[in-house]
Structure 1
Amino acid sequence: MSSSAQQWLSLVGAIWLQTINGPNSDFPVYSSELKDLLTISQLQLNNLAFASDAGKLFGWLSGLAAVYLPLWLVLLIGSCLGLIGYGFQFLFLVHKFSKLSYWHVFLLTVLAGNGVCWINTVCYLICIQNFSSNQRSAVLGISTSYVGLSAKVYTVLADSFFHFLTSQSKAKSYLLLNATVPMLASIVTSPFTRKIHPANQEQLKSSALIFLFIITIATGVCAVISSVGSMSSGRRLATQHAISLGLLLALPLVIPVAMKFKQVLEDNKVHDLVSIHQVDVKEASEDNQSKEENIGASSMIKKLNFWLYYFSYMFSATLGLVFLNNMGQIAESRGLSKTSSLVSISSSFGFFGRLVPSLLDFYFSKNGHVISRTASMTILMAPIAGSFFLLLNQSNLSLYISTAVIGACTGAITCIAVSTTPELFGIKHFGVNHNVVVTNIPIGSLIFGFFAAFVYQNKENGSRSCMGSECFRTTFVLWGSICSFGTLLCFFLYLRTRKKFYLDTI
């Protein structure tokens, strides 16, 4: 297979991996049941939600490992961590282990959460190392957008394959899927998850990206339609949705197959030699341009821009993730019995939120314009703050709208951050640097989640659950205020970096 086809095949692998690399995103679906099975309080349940994020505190280990180990091995290590973390929890729930304490479950969840970082690191490095700078932002955006589908994929699989289980058995089915699906996907994709040095910059690259965008948008539309249908659908419709998503996820394979076919038909050895020279010169130029920006983690954390970026991320996307982790209890307090429909909505809109920034970046870059990523983050943070205040309204419509907006904007900021980190601090140490940046997620999850759980537990009035508008009212006010402050921090970061940004784009 030609190197260009291998290059795009590696991207297909990254897309598939990102699609299933959000096993923790289905936690709200079975969190209430897990709370009953383990006989734990709301604070302890919040600690389990935090535990999954806590694995990111050690995510930098995957960045270091990627420097010394082949990417396929880093990938398999990450999937093994998830298999152990979720697998033992599943065995406990089916009574294969009778003495698994709460703290055992906590540590296993941390382990599984760390496994997510290893797979993410592989996917990010594939996009950064295998594609030139003018393609990098687009392919990063496309691949990371698919992680927004994870919760949707897991709910569809659970509805399709475990429809015969009672509602009290959700936790078992989801934990089994969380343990096995990433491992199976890693085994399938490991042969082509490696660094590729393309022999040429394929002339089909623009049309290939456009085709990939079309497939991705179609996949998101399918997910949104099925999310709306999931509010009242049965097993047959869930199976149809699973088949549709499977076919759409297989479609990106058309690109490397088309490139291989084109390579067979053309005898362009001279053209390849010229292209190699052009690519080498271009890449050398890019390396020279970014040489001064490539700083390690120890130098990065000494910069004011890092801390502005760090807290802007924490006060926006991380807050959004905390909201999604608590969605099960939020829905329950409002009397909604089917949390899976909310999870599907947040997942589907999160998918589009991750995709749109890369689509806009691709469009404007073709017309000679570049969008400031710090400005984009600032603009996206304001709707999250507004959605928290909208949640003070107790109607179900406000809950659905806020869930969609928070899911979309959180996904967009998460996607933009993957490109913002190398933009601010260079690509040389990206594997470690970005994993340092995302340590804000477990820290924010602990602080904001603890506050929400503390307020909720004080409203329980002797029971193990809280019902009514007061359960999260104080929490939403605080979250909205913090996100508003984060918007100001991000705007300040934009003011500090815009001069450098415009110089770089001239």
Structure 2
Amino acid sequence: MAWDSLQNRWVVMVVCIWLDCCTGASYGFSIYSQTIKTRFGYTQQQLDTISVFAGLGGIGGILAGLLYQCFPPWIVLLLGALHNLIGYAALWLFLTGRLTSPALWELCLATCIAMNSELYYSTASMVTCVTNFPANRGIVVGLKKGCLGLSSAILSTLWQVFFQRADGSSFLLVGGIVPSAVALLIMPIVRKYDPGDCENGSSSTMKNLAMVSAPLVFLALFLMGSAFWDGHTLQANRVEFAITLVILATPLYVAWKASNEERTSTKNSKILVPLMSQGDSNIFDRYVIAKYVNSPLWRVIFSIDFFLAFFTSAVTIASSLVAINNMNQVATSLGYGQQDITIFVTLISVAQFLGRFGSGVLSDYLLFKFGIGRPLLTALAGFILCCGHLLIVLAGTFPQALYFGCIFIGFSFGANWCLNSITVSDLFGLGHFGALYNVVMIGNPIVSYFLSVWVAGYLYDIEMVKQGGEQCKGNTCFDLTFIILASICVLATLTSSILWWRTKHIYRKRMSN
């Protein structure tokens, strides 16, 4: 009987949220990046090359999407856990000297394997939940993507409790053990359910989703407030982590209550065996752009609309990653210490949550109320990202601008992750969503490599040589880099606006139905 109470789409949603809240260790790269740089004597270009390989896991993400279409979600979760353990264990052994000093390619490979796990987790978690709540995909994707953005702040808190910031390499232990353990525990629960007669778009479903979301919004604000608190003793960190666990447990009660309501209202819920097809009866898939209905995967990938979504995602997310992964060096060049860097990581993480969750909820509201397409919000997020990059440029003159720049970049980064995913499901349906979602993500490491290594790293090393030291000091280290990032974000804003113009009639048609 107890096991039966766990077999419903609401419990699946909550346990997937728990997984999302601990699988974003890659966003904490700036915590241990300086350890890598000093321990192996790397230049900024070499360090940025390693950070780029964190994104190359997107190539494996395509495999995760294809596997998801052929096997149940627990297979994908198991593979993610194996990648996670192997990759992070190798990185930790390299950084602690337990393995011989690695070549650069060995560190890059270990990083790629470790970060690849996040794509397996995300595919199994997000696609399952979108399938279980097809008419509420905006708030569902926003919530789940938001929790992923919040995860680096949660892992940072856990790291402080057990290791007291002893060394950046110890953060890798947290990133390797915790997500793998959670994934293995929830594997038997994560599965797809037929919503049946539960009326996905009903006020009852929206109310329960809002109740699931409320504690997580409070958690984001709580972690942001604690980041600015100076009294970070070991005891205070333990209390903070205990409060975090209590807040994360709260949605389980909402899930139990919501599942009981659905059992009372309908007896038709059953486990789905196949994926939902393009021709599913759900209203959101009935009005996919006509030429893509029942189209093979290759035709969708080579369409103009998919290219616009692909380009926008690649530029906005890659430019954000350059800023996030170099935040340690940006802060250090401006004279900030490790405590401040931890604050910047937390600010970016919390702002990611607000951007991901807020954009999902707002895009659903604007779509149902006014028929406004999500690509228009993506264009707005690109403009906010442009402003965030320019704020970093001003940080050398106005120190507080760095804090606001982190918030702007984190918020826009989160919004783009969420909106790009939902837009793909909106325009091309759920039939190939697992594969298409990961194809969109593959553009990120390509653009990120060029921007990280040949823009940020190259310009930093040139300025460091001019100064004649081992580290670059002052705002001149990154000013030109962030001006370039702001410029290309303007281009991404234009491409997203074009996609909105091409698809606005589709969204209006959906609103009328």
TM normalised by structure 2 equals 0.90
Q: Say which is worse superposed, 204-213 or 326-335, in terms of deviation.
A: 204-213
Equivalent residue for 1:141? 142
- How many Å separate the matches in 1 of 2:101 and 2:387? 45
Q: 1:93 to 1:302 in 2, by over 3 A?
A: closer
Deviations 1:380-412 (A, max 9, x none): 111211221222221320100011011011101
- The offset of 1:11, in angstroms, is 0.5
The correspondence of residues 235-314 of structure 1 with structure 2, limited to 5 A, is 235-259=234-258, 271-272=266-267, 284=281, 286=283, 288-290=286-288, 292-314=292-314
- The offset of 1:99, in angstroms, is 4.7
- How many Å separate the matches in 1 of 2:88 and 2:483? 34
Equivalent residue for 1:329? 329
The correspondence of residues 391-470 of structure 1 with structure 2, limited to 5 A, is 391-393=392-394, 394=396, 395-450=398-453, 451-461=455-465, 462-470=468-476
Equivalent residue for 1:207? 207
Match of residue 93, structure 1, among 78, 92, 95: 95
- The offset of 1:83, in angstroms, is 0.8
Match of residue 491, structure 2, among 476, 485, 488: 485
Matched, 1:72 2:77: no
Matched, 1:84 2:86: yes
Deviations 1:183-208 (A, max 9, x none): 11101211211112345417742321
Conserved? CA contact 2:300–2:306, under 8 Å? yes
Deviations 1:263-312 (A, max 9, x none): 78x5x6xx536999xxxxx9525455448535444112322222222222
Equivalent residue for 2:382? 381
Conserved? CA contact 1:391–1:402, under 8 Å? yes
Matched, 1:158 2:159: yes
Match of residue 191, structure 2, among 191, 194, 198: 194
Structure 2, unaligned runs of 5 or more: 272-278
Equivalent residue for 1:44? 46
SS at match of 2:56: helix
Equivalent residue for 1:279? none
Equivalent residue for 1:219? 219
Conserved? CA contact 2:359–2:419, under 8 Å? yes
- How many Å separate the matches in 1 of 2:502 and 2:366? 23
- How many Å separate the matches in 1 of 2:384 and 2:102? 42
Structure 1, unaligned runs of 5 or more: 277-281
Conserved? CA contact 2:6–2:189, under 8 Å? no
**Number of residues of Structure 1 aligned to a counterpart in Structure 2:** 492
Matched, 1:181 2:163: no
Q: 1:94 to 1:391 in 2, by over 3 A?
A: closer
Conserved? CA contact 2:372–2:507, under 8 Å? no
- How many Å separate the matches in 1 of 2:209 and 2:259? 16
Conserved? CA contact 1:380–1:409, under 8 Å? yes
Q: Say which is worse superposed, 318-327 or 367-376, in terms of deviation.
A: 367-376
Q: 1:274 to 1:88 in 2, by over 3 A?
A: closer
Deviations 1:300-355 (A, max 9, x none): 23222222222222222321121101101100110101211100110011111111
Conserved? CA contact 2:77–2:124, under 8 Å? yes
- The offset of 1:370, in angstroms, is 4.0
- The offset of 1:161, in angstroms, is 0.8
Conserved? CA contact 1:5–1:260, under 8 Å? no
* Equivalent residue letter for 2:436: N
* Equivalent residue letter for 2:184: I
Kindly report the root-mean-square deviation, in angstroms, between the aligned alpha carbons of the 2 structures: 2.5
- How many Å separate the matches in 1 of 2:491 and 2:442? 20
* Equivalent residue letter for 2:137: R
- How many Å separate the matches in 2 of 1:443 and 1:221? 34
- How many Å separate the matches in 2 of 1:480 and 1:19? 30
- How many Å separate the matches in 1 of 2:48 and 2:41? 13
Match of residue 11, structure 2, among 2, 5, 9: 9
- How many Å separate the matches in 2 of 1:184 and 1:161? 17
Conserved? CA contact 1:79–1:182, under 8 Å? yes
- The offset of 1:113, in angstroms, is 1.9
- The offset of 1:360, in angstroms, is 2.1
Q: 1:469 to 1:289 in 2, by over 3 A?
A: closer
Conserved? CA contact 1:201–1:275, under 8 Å? no
Q: 1:288 to 1:301 in 2, by over 3 A?
A: closer
Deviations 1:56-100 (A, max 9, x none): 123100011112222111101011101101111212333321253
- How many Å separate the matches in 1 of 2:374 and 2:92? 41
Q: Say which is worse superposed, 179-188 or 382-391, in terms of deviation.
A: 382-391
Conserved? CA contact 2:36–2:95, under 8 Å? no
- The offset of 1:111, in angstroms, is 1.0
- How many Å separate the matches in 2 of 1:72 and 1:307? 31
* Equivalent residue letter for 1:170: G
Matched, 1:495 2:497: no
Conserved? CA contact 1:4–1:199, under 8 Å? no
Conserved? CA contact 2:320–2:409, under 8 Å? yes
TM normalised by structure 1 equals 0.91
Conserved? CA contact 2:369–2:511, under 8 Å? no
* Equivalent residue letter for 2:186: T
Identity of aligned residues (%): 26
Conserved? CA contact 2:287–2:506, under 8 Å? no
Equivalent residue for 2:276? none
Q: 1:293 to 1:199 in 2, by over 3 A?
A: closer
